[in-house]
Structure 1
């Protein structure tokens, strides 16, 4: 992609996200939201930023475990720089590992062919962490009488079981290639007849290319599955911490959100980061607020404020950390080259 097209893509993504935010603010009522923000207690709200620092730290530690390296300041700065690129550019979480791997290579000397498989597994562990946290939250809500959420809890349970089964298959040296080709062929023969895109994505050649790209990641899993288990545990911890700003913000507002509600609403909203919009701007806030209203029975204006404040902690604050890390590394590189 040319530089001009790349810049246009970034601008278009940002404008789309900001438009979604503007429409949401117009729907809720900007004056009402502003008045609610003025009521925030700054002390419990500030605890959300502390929780996010712990969450980012857990995710970084998960990656160092997979890389088999000791955590260091340089590595942390490189990781934050990669996260900064992933959050800022309209690539979605799927392409995020590439940016993080490149950043880790250029700052720490770790080869890309070693960093990329680890970052891919770290991203997969992050998805598992969000699913496990959402499963825990939905299970608590169902146990508390919200039986209508049973299908949602079951969906998270199936996703978690599927991820663990895939890990077990890699560790047990199951012929994953054969299974993948079989499933793809079945989809190609059914849904592929209705959609040309599905047919192309599930062709034997496309599946073979995809499996080839993950060969190194699969080798890493087979060689030391304990690393993957520890990384997954750190990712679960990270996601639990990422949900805390919803609780601290709601406490600051005087409109409590139960931890179980946060455990469902925050991970579900993050699924929009799969879309190529910078940080899921706009859509994530809408889904968060809807989750607080639907699951927690929160007033819409209060839910909107909580959603914006949660994103201030989990997106804009992380963006600030990543931008600072990028500046520090650029300054170091400039001083070293002079």
Structure 2
């Protein structure tokens, strides 16, 4: 078993420990009692909402790929995005760890170079940030306005949201202003690493410095093309915003199915803030995302721990387990086609 597989196994083991501890704290009996009362028809509707989410974010990816002259069908865009979700969900640090694999899957599906696929998924991930912060700010405004007590979890959510709303746009702005210097720095840092790996990997000849520079320059050029197309960015943000609404609807419906509907503004805050926990060193943020969702649901809506825990398990079953299974099949199929 290679190092990457060991990292995945250790990551899932850690995630299961976190999940077990979370369920124990919330109360396993309370959660099971709530889950027993849910009707199958609600589970099917929630699963359907998850399919809509995959479709919408797949369309955002398709829009970006269109700007990169890498056309892809509507159905394939949803399947490839499911493959990207799979790679995020089985690698540590979520999107940061899964993007290299996602870039490979996209390049196989579109028959384009790897750097084009990597630039496409990186652009889409950056675009998703815009509506998520907008929804979270709207949700926070309504939650704070109706909160009887500004508890610790709300303080944490507010602080984190302000830091993200200020920090990430600032990082993007300065990264764009100094993109050529950044590109040169990446070339200097990556070249010796790639050439070393090329020497030690059997049956692989080390790439030349010119090849590495060409590929890195191709990645930054693809990012430039996406960022320079206003219509592409606006259309992709639109699909992303609708996809975030589908994710929020999934959690809201999970609570409704348990007989505990809440204000929709609460999930507008909870879901984007929960996604931030995906950056933890756990596969897809498994355990970390769930803990944040439960804690914020309890603090913002007054929902009982057992109800919040059961709702989050249903929601994550539809938006974590389901796309991971589907995406795993897509990743396997694309890998098999590549080997052929």
2:96 & 2:167 partners in 1: Cα distance? 19
Pair 1:57-2:62 in alignment: no
Q: CA RMSD in A?
A: 3.3
**Does the aligned pair in 1 maintain the 2:61–2:77 contact within 8 Å?**
no
1:259 & 1:105 partners in 2: Cα distance? 38
Once the two structures are superposed, what CA deviation does each residue of 1:102-136 show, in whole Å capped at 9, x if it has no partner? Answer: 10111220222222222111111122232222112
Which runs of structure 2 are paired with 1:188-203 in the superposition (5 Å)?
Answer: none
1:47 to 37, 42, 45: 45
Distance 1:166 1:258, change over 3 A: same
**Does the aligned pair in 2 maintain the 1:132–1:156 contact within 8 Å?**
no
Corresponding residue of 2:300: 295
2:328 & 2:223 partners in 1: Cα distance? 32
Corresponding residue of 2:243: 238
2:227 & 2:275 partners in 1: Cα distance? 29
**Does the aligned pair in 2 maintain the 1:131–1:156 contact within 8 Å?**
yes
**Does the aligned pair in 2 maintain the 1:14–1:278 contact within 8 Å?**
yes
Once the two structures are superposed, what CA deviation does each residue of 1:70-101 show, in whole Å capped at 9, x if it has no partner? Answer: 43434443332232122122242123322221
Distance 1:260 1:222, change over 3 A: closer
Pair 1:105-2:107 in alignment: yes
Corresponding residue of 1:306: 311
Please give the secondary structure, in 1, of the residue aligned with 2:2: helix
Corresponding residue of 1:267: 272
TM norm structure 1: 0.78
Corresponding residue of 2:205: none
Q: How many matched pairs?
A: 307
Distance 1:120 1:46, change over 3 A: same
Corresponding residue of 2:139: 137
TM norm structure 2: 0.78
Structure 1: gaps spanning 5 or more residues: 181-203
**Does the aligned pair in 1 maintain the 2:91–2:97 contact within 8 Å?**
no
Larger mean Cα displacement after TM superposition, 295-304 or 34-43: 34-43
Structure 2: gaps spanning 5 or more residues: 191-215
